[in-house]
A and B are shown apart, each in its own frame.
Chain A
Amino acid sequence: MTSSLRALSLIALVLMLLVPALPAQANPELDALIAENLDQIERPSRRTVGPLIEQIAATGPSGEAMLAAWTDRRLGLTDDGRVVIVTGDDMADAATGEAVAGADPKMLRPNSGVRGLIDSALVAGQISDPDRKIRVQALDSIARSGSEEHLVALRDAPPDPDPALQARKERLLTLLTIQYDSDPQARVAALKEMSGDVGLDFRGVLNPLLATRRIAATEAPGDANIAREIKPGSDELSREAAYDLLKSQELAQPRLTMAAQRDILIANIADDQVGGIPVADLGDPQARDRAYKALEAAGTVTPAATEAEAQEAIDAHRYYEVYAEPNPDVTEAAKARRRGRRCDWRR
């Protein structure tokens, strides 16, 4: 019901714009976009359709009308490659606004991922819509997938006459400020404002701020926002895990197990020697390592770390948890909120 109302009002708007001079109101920019992107319009994918939606929205009211029809599944494609907006029994060309008769369009059914993108593009114009239901939908859409543009749109929107919606708008504004504001102090202030809040939406914003990843380095990285240092061999970071981290950062070679080393050495026995070391001496692990090194140097085998080399490499590095969020003030404030919340909960 709502969507058809919204559609009707948009159609009415387009028609009003079109009435004074019909063909002159055609939107050549939109026409060109449609012609170039028919494939994308027919089979849109969430991953790739974003830029096209923005371009269509930027062509003005007829572009927005087309988007509104698209998300409502009232957009059809005719055999001759025209995109039409279907309203009840009537059809109009999306680009020219001219009525289309006698066509049997294939109706387009964008999936909910694509519709989410379209809705999000239409949101800015809907936050201050006179219809309360449309304003609610706009806020729902922002709550699901807020962006930097939504932050700007929310900030510029006039206060909502409905106090409940205004409260919701303010909450969304605070959440988006935490995520997207370019000023770190504004983000910190917004975080403080949410003190004691346990809402799922707030936790959904807070937790990504405090997400960390582990890195290994020879000294503390100056440009990273370090959460803390962890010692290898502790409960949190076993020496094995520390070595895996080194390998993943290509700071160390894959480790050579005793068994693999033995097999490789056996395979390379020549004249009772391996890499210049007599087979009789290979009972000693250090001699095996030397033999393997000689094979590595000769290029016979791929380089791999012996046990001793691996232990050495683990001790030569330090291990840190760093925040994905680069600003330390923001992560400090977020940490305080999380702590605060836990205290509240215990009480």
Chain B
Amino acid sequence: MKTITKLLMLTGAISLPPGAWAQEGEPIKIGVLHSLSGTMAISETTLKDTVLMMVEQQNAKGGVLGRPLEAVVVDPASDWPLFAEKARELLTVSEVDAIFGCWTSVSRKSVLPVIEELNGLLFYPVQYEGEESSKNVIYTGAAPNQQAIPAVEYMTEELGVEKWALLGTDYVYPRTTNNILESYLKDQGVAAGDIFVNYTPFGHSDWSKIVSDVVALGADGKKVGVVSTINGDANVGFYKELAAAGISADDIPVMAFSVGEEELSGLDTGNLVGHLAAWNYFQTAETDENAAFIEEWHKSTGDESRVTNDPMEATMLGFNLWVQAVEKAGSTETDAVLDAIVGLEVPNLTGSTATVLPNHHLTKPVLIGEIRDDGQFDIVSETDPVPGDAWTDFLPESAVLDADWPGKECGMFNTKTGSCVQVQSNY
């Protein structure tokens, strides 16, 4: 009975304008939805720490709208359905105004129906496969045109790669990305016979057959390159096997999309030197903003050896954009914040600016790094900021789609038929 009364009261509160209910100085709550246990904890715990650092910094500056911020941390434990439950809990029980969270695409897909039903707001900080635009998500990581496509372009132009091995772990992100890449390469005139695609399960360890297949691709005298969407610890065995076969990065370069500073820290990187990764940020970026960010990070964690990485920058960008949008809207209410956020700009850590686009993605520069023996990256290429494309131009069925929330109020708009295919993103 008590609960019901409480619920009724809460429902009443939601329909009132925020100022009428909230007392001056009452904290604004934000949710942190990152796995702190299970297989993804190694990557996601860092992002939880990043949000907490940002909250602390913001509170030191006087909070938002004159109110302090309070982070509500939950642990979805690398369990995809649990992500949806925890998101519901954050929105209905803790009543957070924004959620910072998710890493794998499958966890994001699990959360989508919940935040769309409850009109929540999620900041998603990881590079992903695209083909999505939700009204309730701001994607602060890279879309394929901000990572995968430029990386492959770089391999063609700068490394002279003519024959391609697309190796990935068997789940939605590698499969979608490789579909896009295969279609892109064929558009560029690469013959079907010069593209080799292979998927392996999570945690795959026996790479000898696959590596010898890749090496044998060079039998017609063409330069071979590997595009790796291999995820997690399977990478270790893969690079080891390459080295064991006497293959260096100069012979067959490997471009990875899921290997960053965090994944390399604590690893013997001797076998990886010279191989590549494509991101929108590397810790070695030489800017004042980055130096300050790293210093804050070390201070906040109390550990000088903690590395920074791309999803951390994306988390920081999402947080700062949210703060700016709330200040601009004068409210933390989802629709008001979403109205305010498109077009806002914040400085990134590599010397340019991140702008929120109408498709809820950001502008981001594309960086290519070569792995050094200390586990950091030498940045060998950097572009101007590229606008993120929700729907890739390289798959015919998605080339006609457009996402435009302020203009068309639709994340999946067919420009050929001039109609919104669907508003919710349960595709």
Contacts and interface: CB of A to CB of B under 8 A. Distances in A.
A110 interface: yes
A112 B157 contact: no
Interface in B248-297: 249-251, 253, 274
Q: How large is the interface on A (under 10, 10 to 19, 20 to 34, 35 or more residues)?
A: 20 to 34
Contact of A112 (B220, B250, B379): B250
B219 A113 contact: no
A286 interface: no
Contacts of A200: 215-216, 218-219
A204 B274 contact: no
B310 interface: no
Interface in B365-381: 368, 370, 378-381
Contact of A207 (B219, B253, B381): B219
Interface string A211-250: 1000000000000000000000000000000000000000
Nearest to B382: A43
B218 A111 contact: no
Contacts of B216: 200
Contacts, number: 55
Contact of A116 (B215, B221, B250, B370): B250
Interface in B155-170: 157-160
A112 B219 contact: no
A205 B216 CA distance: 13
A38 B381 CA distance: 17
Interface string A91-118: 0000000000000000001111110100
A73 interface: yes
Given A109-B379, A111-B380, A112-B253, A45 B158 contact: yes
A205 B251 contact: no
B163 to A, nearest CB: 11
A342 interface: no
Given A116-B250, A144-B251, A208 B221 contact: yes
B379 A46 contact: no
Nearest to B154: A111
A109 B378 contact: yes
A346 interface: no
B70 to A, nearest CB: 43
Interface in B199-255: 215-216, 218-221, 249-251, 253
A111 B370 contact: yes
A113 B159 contact: yes
Given A111-B381, A207-B220, A46 B251 contact: no
Contacts of A110: 380
B251 A112 contact: no
Nearest to A106: B286
B378 A204 contact: no
A112 B218 contact: no
Interface string A173-214: 000000000000000000000000000100111011001000
Nearest to A208: B221
A205 B222 CA distance: 10
B271 to A, nearest CB: 16
Contacts of B368: 111
16 contacts: A45-B157, A46-B157, A46-B159, A47-B157, A73-B378, A111-B368, A112-B158, A112-B250, A113-B158, A114-B158, A140-B250, A144-B250, A200-B215, A200-B219, A203-B220, A208-B221
Given A46-B160, A111-B158, A111-B380, 11 more contacts: A45-B157, A109-B370, A112-B158, A140-B250, A144-B251, A200-B216, A203-B219, A203-B220, A203-B221, A207-B219, A211-B220
Interface of A: 45-47, 73, 109-114, 116, 140, 144, 200, 203-205, 207-208, 211
